[in-house]
């Protein structure tokens, strides 16, 4: 049948039935990475953080895993939309800072899998970073920047992907986890989710630099000048999330959203995203990320930053965080740590 004889032929997806791809192999439907899983179901590529016991905390592998999985989805003609979520109690609790802070900034080593560059002898080498973060030594800010900017580049694959990306947030998307979420084109969340960057209270600046671009100047400052977090409901009210629903309804609401997006032709989705991204990028997203990443490094090398690091090494990271947050009234009780 010709397109004129086929009802709504424009909604037909690419893939095995498209003449462009006829007779060609079908891309992989399932891939396991060190920190996440990748799965294609219908027209949706699902990237799911898979370190639930650690709150899906970020390791050296995470930015590579995200970028690699996003590229898979971008190149797969069957995929119309990319959904990012987390297993366990939350989306992502940020960097694995218990390792960083308690061990004098010694990060977990890279797995070196799926083409990732091994960490040994590079700026990702745990020993190199430990030396560069020694309060008694000399700090090289560009060694720090080389490490942290790599995380940003991986996370920003969600923004720079040709196809639309959606972040589904339940539980928490805090600190570095919020950096990842804010790079997505759309955020949908549970009413009781928590989204924010508490490390601005000491030892951190949101390296992605996306808060002002997503919320505007005044509201971004309201959060980052206090380290306060938003609930999912507040995130929707403030325009950070496109929708917030009761936690038990989040899965259904998310499937409805990505299902609606997936009905659109791929080329329409790509053109719309590129057109809208042109305005967002013109605001200076790249410059914001560069400046914020440099300041994030500086914040860990002030007197206050060193004091926090040394306290965490003495009493443990969780206790140091509790002491940090206690004056603000949102510290986690010791019984929940």
Angle (CA) 59-141-103 rounded to 5° is: 45
pLDDT in tens, 135-178: 888 999 999 999 999 999 999 999 999 999 999 999 999 999 99
Q: What is the pLDDT of residue 112?
A: 45
What's the CA gap between 142 and 134, in Å, rounded? 15
Angle (CA) 210-215-220 rounded to 5° is: 75
Q: Give the percent of the chain with pLDDT over 70.
A: 91
- Mean pLDDT, rounded, for 285-294: 98
User: Is the four-CA dihedral 297, 57, 164, 15 of positive or negative sign?
Assistant: positive
pLDDT in tens, 173-220: 999 999 999 999 999 999 999 999 999 999 999 999 999 999 999 999
pLDDT tops 70 at residue 336:
no
Kindly give the pairing relationship between strand 165-169 and strand 186-190: parallel
pLDDT tops 60 at residue 98:
no
Q: How confident is the model at residue 328 (pLDDT cuts 50, 70, 90)?
A: very high
**Taking a C-beta distance cutoff of 8 angstroms, is the pair 183, 98 a contact?**
no
Between 257 and 10, the higher pLDDT residue: 257
pLDDT tops 70 at residue 37:
yes
This prediction's pTM? 0.94
Task: Tokens 């060190």: give the residue.
Answer: 34
Q: What is the pLDDT of residue 116?
A: 62
Q: What is the pLDDT of residue 106?
A: 45
Average pLDDT of the chain, as a whole number: 91
Show Cβ contacts of residue 200 under 8 Å, excluding neighbours closer than 6 positions. 206, 224, 225, 226, 227
Strands (E), the chain: 30-32, 36-41, 44-49, 81-86, 165-169, 172-174, 186-190, 194-196, 229-231, 243-245
Q: At what angle do helices 141-155 and 285-299 cross, to 10 degrees?
A: 130
């Amino acid at each position: 049948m010709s397109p004129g004889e086929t009802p709504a032929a424009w909604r037909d997806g690419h893939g095995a039935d498209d003449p462009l791809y006829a007779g060609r192999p079908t891309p992989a439907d399932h891939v396991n990475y060190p920190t996440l899983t990748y799965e294609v179901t219908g027209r949706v590529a699902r990237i799911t953080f898979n370190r639930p016991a650690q709150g899906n905390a970020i390791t050296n592998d995470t930015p590579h895993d995200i970028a690699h999985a996003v590229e898979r989805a971008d190149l797969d003609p069957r995929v119309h939309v990319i959904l990012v979520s987390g297993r366990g109690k939350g989306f992502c609790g940020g960097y694995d800072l218990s390792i960083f802070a308690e061990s004098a900034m010694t990060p977990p080593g890279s797995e070196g899998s799926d083409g990732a560059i091994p960490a040994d002898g590079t700026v990702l080498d745990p020993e190199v970073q430990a030396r560069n973060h020694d309060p008694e030594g000399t700090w090289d800010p560009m060694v720090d920047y080389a490490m942290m900017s790599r995380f940003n580049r991986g996370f920003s694959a969600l923004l720079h992907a040709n196809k639309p990306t959606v972040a589904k947030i339940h539980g928490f998307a805090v600190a570095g986890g919020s950096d990842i979420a804010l790079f997505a084109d759309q955020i949908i969340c549970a009413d009781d989710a928590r989204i924010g960057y508490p490390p601005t209270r000491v030892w951190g600046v949101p390296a992605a630099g996306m808060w002002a671009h997503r919320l505007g100047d005044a509201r971004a400052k309201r959060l980052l000048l206090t380290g306060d977090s938003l609930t999912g409901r507040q995130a929707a009210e403030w325009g950070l999330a496109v929708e917030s629903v009761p936690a038990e309804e989040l899965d259904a609401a998310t499937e409805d959203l990505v299902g609606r997006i997936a009905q659109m032709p791929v080329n329409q989705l790509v053109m719309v995203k590129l057109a809208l991204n042109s305005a967002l990028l013109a605001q200076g997203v790249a410059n914001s990320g560069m400046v914020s990443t440099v300041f994030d490094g500086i914040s860990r090398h002030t007197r206050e930053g060193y004091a926090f690091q040394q306290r965490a090494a003495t009493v443990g990271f969780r206790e140091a965080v509790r002491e940090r947050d206690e004056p603000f009234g949102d510290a986690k009780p010791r019984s929940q740590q």
